[in-house]
């Protein structure tokens, strides 16, 4: 039986495919606005596409074996790209996402125990408390147009703040959001020189980025100082991620993080975690508003459930499939890019030092040869006995650098979607199609208005 034979699945809108003969400069101009719009039909059909990126070759990889090679078997030969480092260093510093070599091994090993599914289970009460508050606020807004994207952004930021520090973000949340918006709207966008010059050559934007970094580091250090002032009794169990990270010791050397390192780790976890999860939840709500039958299935799964522990979350199999399918169609991280440190051979092609390898979950998840009805929303495909190839479905990446926050993000998004859809019927109050834009994450081109009613 075909996976979608029962009901005709919805096909949500996407940007038009780029002409396959788009020029290099045309592509560079569009990248800043919407990287997804630079990919033509070939990128959804072929396994490997070779091109040029300034002085180096570039490759788009859509072949699971080649991706396994780059992200897993020979991952040490690949590092973050110079443009990625330039864009992210001012906000993430030397934290886990940008660290390389021994510094990365130390950080990953030291932080891992704080991010296991078991450690995440202890953070679920913080998540449910924020959800209770969000639902209570939404109850006062039933029947009127609501901007669920903004509400998801505030909610995931609040969850990030409470799980990190145990305190609410009512005082510092707005400043934190302003930092995120300021960076994302201007400094976080790659300009021509950012891509053309090596990282050691500062571009005019880098000066503005350095000024931003100074203010940002002072702000995060102030949050940490406030949290330290609350203290923790010796021997008491860790209350939040900050306690876990502050007490973390390298299992091999016994070394912990310095104050400067903690600033970068805290900044990395808050930034890498909240916008990505908000984006996933926004798209899930959008898809469920387009597909009321599927929305009803989520609602009926949650009926009679308390939904306040990890065991409850694990029982929401259909809601989990909706989240998985949402992240297939709208992977928040639409591109995973690497630069080669040295020569290699990938999918039969010669790769040289400095060449750029692009693994684009956006393309891979909609590839015509890898998926049945690639553009249709069919959550049940994730409930079939045969899961998709591990290297064809990569919302969280793969290999040693897989997202450390994946168990956290999955628990948070399943819990939030189940609780929200269990409480409200969600419809669109706006008929304009919502087009995904690839800038930092997979963002909607506008925030549509929704209408919610109590179930
Ligand atoms: C839906 C939500 C999320 C998505 C889609 C997502 C996606 C990703 C992806 C694709 C990578 C791999 C990047 C690469 O290989 O270049 C990654 C890495 C990472 N993510 Fe997430 N992420 C999410 C939530 C989170 C959360 C909640 C946290 C922290 C609490 C987090 C922290 C990190 C960190 C620190 C890394 C770097 C890991 C390393 O390099 O060792 N992410 N994420």
Residue by residue, pLDDT tens for the chain (455 residues) are 455 456 789 999 998 888 877 777 777 777 667 889 889 999 999 999 999 877 899 999 999 999 999 999 999 999 999 988 998 999 999 999 999 999 999 999 999 999 999 999 999 999 999 999 999 999 999 989 999 999 999 999 999 999 998 888 888 989 998 998 888 888 888 888 888 888 888 888 899 999 999 999 999 999 999 998 887 767 777 788 898 888 889 888 999 999 999 999 999 999 998 999 999 999 999 999 999 999 999 999 999 888 999 999 999 999 999 999 999 999 999 999 999 999 999 999 999 999 999 999 999 999 999 999 999 999 999 998 888 999 999 999 999 999 999 999 999 999 999 999 999 999 999 889 999 999 889 999 999 999 999 99
Confidence (pLDDT) at 3: 53
Interval between CA 140 and ligand 1 midpoint (Å) = 34
Interval between CA 277 and ligand 1 midpoint (Å) = 10
Confidence (pLDDT) at 1: 43
Confidence (pLDDT) at 185: 81
CA 177, CA 387: separation in Å to the nearest integer? 37
Confidence (pLDDT) at 387: 86
Atom of ligand 1 nearest to the CA of 268: 35
The encoded tokens of residue 341 equal 């440190």
Chain centroid to Cα 432, Å, comes to 25
Confidence (pLDDT) at 197: 83
Hey, where are the domains in the chain? 24-454
Confidence (pLDDT) at 265: 95
Interval between CA 266 and ligand 1 midpoint (Å) = 13
Q: Contact 285/426 with Cβ under 8 angstroms?
A: yes
Among 161, 248, 403, the mutation site with the greatest number of ligand 1 atoms within 8 A of its Cβ is 403
H-helix or E-strand spanning residue 347: none
Cα angle 300, 7, 426 (rounded to 5 degrees) comes to 45
Atom of ligand 1 nearest to the CA of 276: 2
CA 331, CA 314: separation in Å to the nearest integer? 21
Say yes or no: CB of residue 96 within 6 Å of ligand 1: yes
Smallest CA separation from ligand 1 atom 7, residue: 396
Confidence (pLDDT) at 24: 72
Q: Which fold has domain 24-454?
A: Cytochrome p450 (1.10.630)
Measuring CA to CA, how many Å separate 334 from each of 101, 142, 322?
25, 33, 18
Closest CA to 123 of 74, 72, 75, 162: 162
Closest CA to 154 of 142, 141, 166, 172: 172
356-359 and 56-61 strand pairing? parallel
Question: 159 among the known binding-site residues?
Answer: no
Say yes or no: CB of residue 269 within 6 Å of ligand 1: yes
The count of residues in the chain is: 455
């Amino acid at each position: 039986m075909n996976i979608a034979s029962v009901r005709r699945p919805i096909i949500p809108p996407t940007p038009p495919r780029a002409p396959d003969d788009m020029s290099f400069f045309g592509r560079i101009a569009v990248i800043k606005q919407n990287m997804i719009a630079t990919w033509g039909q070939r990128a959804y059909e072929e396994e490997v596409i070779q091109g040029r990126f300034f002085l180096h070759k570039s490759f788009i990889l859509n072949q699971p074996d080649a991706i396994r090679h780059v992200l897993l078997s020979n991952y040490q030969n690949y590092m973050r790209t110079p443009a990625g480092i330039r864009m992210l260093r001012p906000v993430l510093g030397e934290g886990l996402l940008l660290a390389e070599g021994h510094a990365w091994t130390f950080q990953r090993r030291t932080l891992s125990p704080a991010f296991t599914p078991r450690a995440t289970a202890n953070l679920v009460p913080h998540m449910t408390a924020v959800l209770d508050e969000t639902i209570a606020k939404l109850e006062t807004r039933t029947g009127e147009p609501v901007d669920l994207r903004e509400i998801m952004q505030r909610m995931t930021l609040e969850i990030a703040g409470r799980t990190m520090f145990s305190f609410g973000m009512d005082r510092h949340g707005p400043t934190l959001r302003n930092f995120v918006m300021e960076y994302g709207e201007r400094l976080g966008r790659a300009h021509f020189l950012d891509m053309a010059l090596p990282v050691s050559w500062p571009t005019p934007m880098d000066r503005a980025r350095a000024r931003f970094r100074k203010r940002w580091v002072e702000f995060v250090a102030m949050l940490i100082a406030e949290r330290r002032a609350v203290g923790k009794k010796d021997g008491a169990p860790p209350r939040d991620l900050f306690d876990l990270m502050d007490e973390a010791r390298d299992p091999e050397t016994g070394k912990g993080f310095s104050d400067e390192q903690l600033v970068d780790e805290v900044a990395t976890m808050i930034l890498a975690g909240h916008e990505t999860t908000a984006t996933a939840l926004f798209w899930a709500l959008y898809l469920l508003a387009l597909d009321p039958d599927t929305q009803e299935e989520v609602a009926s799964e949650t009926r009679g459930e308390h939904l306040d522990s990890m065991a409850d979350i694990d029982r929401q199999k259909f809601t989990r499939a909706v989240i998985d399918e949402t992240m297939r169609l709208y992977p928040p991280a639409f591109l995973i890019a690497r630069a080669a440190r040295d020569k290699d051979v990938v999918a039969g092609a010669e790769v040289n030092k400095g060449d750029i390898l692009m693994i684009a979950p956006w393309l891979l998840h909609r590839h015509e040869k890898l998926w049945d009805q690639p553009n249709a929303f069919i959550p049940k495909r994730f409930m079939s006995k045969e899961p998709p190839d591990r290297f064809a479905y990569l919302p969280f990446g793969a290999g040693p650098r897989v997202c450390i926050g994946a168990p956290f993000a999955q628990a948070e998004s399943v819990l939030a979607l189940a609780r929200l859809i269990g409480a409200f019927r969600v419809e669109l109050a706006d008929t304009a199609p919502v087009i995904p834009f690839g800038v930092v994450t997979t963002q909607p081109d506008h925030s549509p208005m929704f209408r919610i009613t109590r179930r």
